[in-house]
Each structure stands twice: as structure tokens, then as C-alpha cells.
Amino acid sequence: MGTVEPPPGQAAARLAPAVASSPGRSPWTIALLVLGALAAFLWFRRPSYLPDVPLPSASAEGVSAGPQASPVFCRGSKGCLVVYVAPWCGPCRSSLPGDVALADHIAPLGYETVFVVGMDDVRACLEMTKSIGRPARIDSDRKWARAARVSGVPHFLVTTPTGKIVKRQAGAYLAPPDQVAQLLGIS
């Protein structure tokens, strides 16, 4: 016995309709895939806001304001600059005078500056707050840093008055305050 094969020309005719009506090539399937991809893109590109994680406060003298904690809110009429630093970070310590000068420079422009000191124990964070010479928030357990996606220190977050993060930048700036403000999009 031999193999059974269809006559020449008939096999191609039977396969062509099956390929043309394949469910993967339907216009509705393609439309659904495109809509799904667009929804995923919009979901992952959604704007990020300052985290709603409560942080304790510290005075400019490096004294804890007590056990009460509240989230970081932006009170600047044009926006907010959050400067996240860590006590063990050399670039953070060397850029602090410039960061304080930057805060003074952008205050008349309607931007509030909030210093957040974290990624270390509370005593070290309070000691660093003394060297800043301004009130700060303490994030010793890194919860706020994880929620804000702070990956390196020092880290700068520029926000709108509603707290929407419009720019983030990691790394120390050792330039005059007006140049740093321009680099951060504050002018």
C-alpha cells in the first residue's frame, strides 16, 4: 500500500480558506490587542505623586518633634522641591550648603523645599538635620524612599502644588543655585 495524497492543486485550495479565516488575524482581535497595549502603556505611565507615607518631623536643632507623623505635603504656590539625603552619604554632606542655598533661591519663586533625611538610624538622621539647619522629615526605616522610588542619594523631586512629581534627579549638584534651579526645571 502507498500513501494517500490528494490530487495536485486540491491541498492548497483546502488550506487557503483556513488561513484566511484564522482567529488571530481578525480585525477585532487586532483592535483588542492594540487597546490592551494602550491601556498597559497608560497604566505604567500614570503620574506619580508624593507618597502618602507619614514621616516624623525634626527641628532645625536636630530634635525630634515627637511620635506624631504626617505625610509630606507641598505648600508652595508653584510647587515643591524635596531633597532626600542620607547621613552616610559623602556627596549628600558636601552638597548640603548648596542645597540650602538652592532652597533660599527658589523660595521667592513660589517653591517650598522639604528636606527628608533617611536610610540610617534616627540618631544619625537627627544629627544630619542639625547640619542642614532647617526642619526636616526623618525616614529611618526607608518606607518613604521605597514609596517615592528614591534609588540613590542625594535625590531631588520637583512637584506641582498638588504633589505630582514632574522631575526626579539623583546626584549632588555643586553649581550655583540659579544653575541648579534651571537644571531642575525651576526658574
Q: Which domain holds residue 36?
A: 10-44
Q: How confident is the model at residue 3 (pLDDT cuts 50, 70, 90)?
A: low
pLDDT of 19 strictly over 80: no
In a domain, 177, yes or no: yes
CATH number at residue 165: 3.40.30.10
Average of per-residue pLDDT across 64-74 = 88
pLDDT of residue 26: 85
Average of per-residue pLDDT across 60-77 = 91
CA distance linking residue 46 with residue 27, whole number of Å: 28
In a domain, 63, yes or no: yes
In a domain, 4, yes or no: no
- The pTM for the full model equals 0.76
Q: How confident is the model at residue 42 (pLDDT cuts 50, 70, 90)?
A: low
pLDDT of residue 34: 84
Q: How confident is the model at residue 66 (pLDDT cuts 50, 70, 90)?
A: confident
Number of structural domains, the chain?
A: 2
pLDDT in tens, 127-162: 999 999 999 999 999 999 999 999 899 999 999 999
Residues 66 and 101 in one domain: yes
